[in-house]
């Protein structure tokens, strides 16, 4: 028995959501291209975009195209703020930053990218405050590799979307990428060396919803290659793996309280 066609109101909601989904791959799109991708007439798309613009979900550009609006950023900030994962991870990220000294961040999968939902800036001069570092393709980042190694659909999404080179060290060949993910699964952590920016490296570890559960996120630490790796690499890897286990156990238990070290008596 076939299901009845959706009611007009529900169809409108579906079209609106399909419009927003179209911007997952492109930052700006014209009316005709949106209509083609969603599969509706230009007149229907014009009405839909008009409503989305009025509500702040879309914006018109100077060229007459559309892009995502700031209202969605507000929604995203609410989701991030209220995220149980972010809330439970933050105390650990702070202590991990204090132990390593470099920037520490929490990322979740988003298509073929890793989306950073929390970041604690490092103690040094290097900071990651620009929006360019809010999202990163999984093939160039340690957090992305740590997720993609255990989430085949994330790896597949990145290969399908393309593996753009950012430096001469970026992995851009699918087979090499899959081989690298196999190494991540074997050793339990990922490393990105000068792959997104020369002189900048990172170490990432997967986060599961329970010790034997699914990988849902990753934490990574990023900083100058010489400070993060080399003589310091094994120490930093141990700290990251331990933090990953702590956060995984905390998520399984439903809460995270970081034990504080007592100060030495003077």
> Per-residue pLDDT for the chain (266 aa), expressed as one digit of tens each?
454 555 566 789 999 999 999 998 888 999 999 999 999 999 999 999 999 999 999 999 999 999 999 888 777 766 765 567 888 889 999 999 999 999 999 999 988 999 898 899 998 755 554 444 578 999 999 999 999 999 999 999 999 999 999 999 999 999 999 999 999 999 999 999 999 999 999 999 999 989 999 999 999 999 999 999 989 899 999 999 999 999 999 888 875 443 433 333 33
CA atoms within 13 A on the CB side of 4: 4
Tell me: do 33 and 149 sit in the same domain: no
Tell me: do 160 and 221 sit in the same domain: yes
What's the confidence (pLDDT) of residue 129? 45
Q: What are phi and psi of 260, to 5 degrees?
A: -90, 140
| Prediction pTM value | 0.69
Of 42, 69, 96, at which residue does a domain stop? 69
Distance, CA of 168 to CA of 143 (rounded, Å)? 20
Nearest CA to 205 out of 188, 192, 222, 193 is that of 188
Note whether residue 191 is domain-resident: yes
How many domains does the chain divide into?
A: 2
Helix/strand/coil (H, E, C) string of 18-50?
A: HHHHHCCCCCCECHHHHHHHHCCCHHHHHHHHH
Tell me: do 65 and 93 sit in the same domain: no
Note whether residue 133 is domain-resident: yes
Do 25 and 161 touch, CB atoms closer than 8 A? yes
Do 34 and 45 touch, CB atoms closer than 8 A? yes
CATH number at residue 221: 3.30.450.40
What's the confidence (pLDDT) of residue 85? 84
What's the confidence (pLDDT) of residue 130? 43
Give me the domain span that covers residue 239: 83-253
- Report in angstroms the alpha-carbon separations of 236 from 96, 99, 101, 140, 212: 10, 9, 10, 20, 24
Tell me: do 113 and 28 sit in the same domain: no
What's the confidence (pLDDT) of residue 138? 96
What's the confidence (pLDDT) of residue 261? 37
Note whether residue 164 is domain-resident: yes
């Amino acid at each position: 028995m076939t299901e009845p066609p959706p009611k007009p109101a529900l169809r409108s909601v579906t079209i609106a959501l399909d419009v927003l989904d179209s911007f997952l791959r492109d930052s700006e799109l014209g009316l005709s291209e949106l209509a083609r991708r969603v599969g509706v007439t230009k007149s229907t798309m014009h009405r839909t975009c008009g409503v989305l613009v009025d509500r702040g979900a879309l914006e018109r550009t100077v060229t007459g195209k559309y892009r995502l609006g700031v209202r969605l950023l507000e929604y995203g900030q609410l989701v991030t703020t209220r995220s149980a994962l972010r809330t439970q991870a933050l105390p650990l990220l702070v202590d991990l930053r204090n132990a390593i000294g470099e920037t520490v961040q929490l990322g979740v999968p988003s298509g073929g990218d890793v989306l950073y939902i929390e970041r604690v800036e490092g103690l040094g001069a290097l900071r990651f405050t620009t929006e360019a570092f809010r999202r990163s393709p999984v093939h160039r980042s340690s957090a992305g590799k740590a997720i993609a190694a255990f989430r085949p659909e994330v790896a597949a999404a990145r290969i399908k979307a393309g593996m753009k080179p950012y430096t001469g060290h970026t992995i851009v060949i699918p087979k090499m990428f899959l081989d690298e993910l196999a190494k991540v699964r074997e050793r339990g952590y990922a490393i990105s060396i000068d792959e997104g920016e020369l002189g900048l490296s990172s170490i990432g570890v997967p986060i599961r919803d329970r010790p034997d559960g699914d990988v849902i996120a990753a934490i990574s630490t990023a900083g100058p290659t010489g400070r993060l790796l080399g003589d310091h690499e094994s120490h930093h890897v141990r700290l990251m793996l331990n933090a990953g286990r702590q956060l995984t156990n905390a998520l399984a238990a439903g809460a995270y309280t970081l034990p504080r070290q007592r100060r030495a008596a003077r």
